Amino acid sequence: MRLSVVLLVVALLCLSGGGGGGLVAASTDFKFPAVFNFGDSNSDTGGRVAAGLESILPPYGSTFFGGPAGRFCDGRLILDFLMEAMDMPLLNAYLDSLGAPIFRTGVNFAQAGCSITPAKPTSVSPFSFGLQIKQFFSFKDKVTKLLSKGDMYRPYIPQEDYFSEGLYMFDIGQNDLAGEFYSKTEDQVIASIPTILLEFETGLKKLYDQGARKFWIHNTGPLGCLPENIALFGKDPSQLDELHCVAKHNRAAKLFNLQLHALCTKLRGEFTGASITYVDIHTIKYSLIANYSRFGFEHATQACCGYGGPPLNFDGNVRCGQTVSLNGKLVTAKGCSDTTEFVNWDGIHYTEAANFHIASQILTGKYSDPPFVDKMPFVIKPRF
């Protein structure tokens, strides 16, 4: 409840100007008719579940939705909070046809487990970035045909100009790096980054050629600080950094982000009439993990929902919400009693409380290139 109230205040301040408090109204740059999102589990609002690739069990979704809601989280994602801050409805997954979804203000193509590079037979998800782009073009084509039939469908689908005026958001690349570490050396993973980003650039250019002009791109977080990766790759203490995160994963993430940032800079010179905002998620997340107690958390790299107890509470054989036979005994990976004490939810994904913190830091504008701090005349200080 406290999160909702604070977020409402954030939305009012960001979009309405703050009444008589002397705050300057935020730029109209943050008023979009629609949002089109592409990504992985960090922003999947139900795509993987709707595709039938996986089911999500309680306690997923319990903090905000009262039960599983297609998200790999106990509640809302960063994307959800950003949508609320822009005073827009939460995005429906493209493949979700149940519950009378309305796509008028956008659609979400993100799929948990997906990668930027084309999927392989062993990939967690077949819905790579390229396939998500194809789904977008199919969606746009269907919308155009429906609009030509009159006003019957207009309340449920974007208007034609929404595709050129809308915001295109991206949070993808984590799985390309993390997945490679299972079979490749650090040098080999790093050597693959240009190929990954070339695929990403190709997708962005396709969207630009079809009229997309407003791009919002998140970089990837500190992969080495996820309990799953610490459990698998951090058994040797010499492989850990000062935060007890896996150093090689974080080094790869930083190099990926440097090259992604350079790509965004290059595309600004090539995409005439476009705006490209690069958002440094990595710095926000790493700062949160390094200073978790300062931000009101009690556990930085221990999963809230998991099995095994401290320090990580993660066992890859017993995933969050599952009950399995382990060493001849039935065990269940249960959720913690207070999710706001934990940065990490299930060993891979962040809690709603952490996602809210990250979203609030994004909205300060300090972590973006170009920065928009001059348009946000305040710093949000969330309390949990």
From 249, 282, 299, 349, the catalytic residue: 349
Q: How many CA within 13 A on the CB side of residue 255?
A: 17
Handedness of CA 361, 172, 8, 357 (dihedral sign): negative
Active site residue 41: yes
Active site residue 349: yes
CA pair distance 353, 372, nearest whole angstrom: 24
From 41, 43, 115, 125, the catalytic residue: 41
CA pair distance 380, 138, nearest whole angstrom: 39
- Residue 101: count other Cβ atoms within 10 Å of its Cβ: 16
Active site residue 275: no
Catalytic residue set: 41, 346, 349
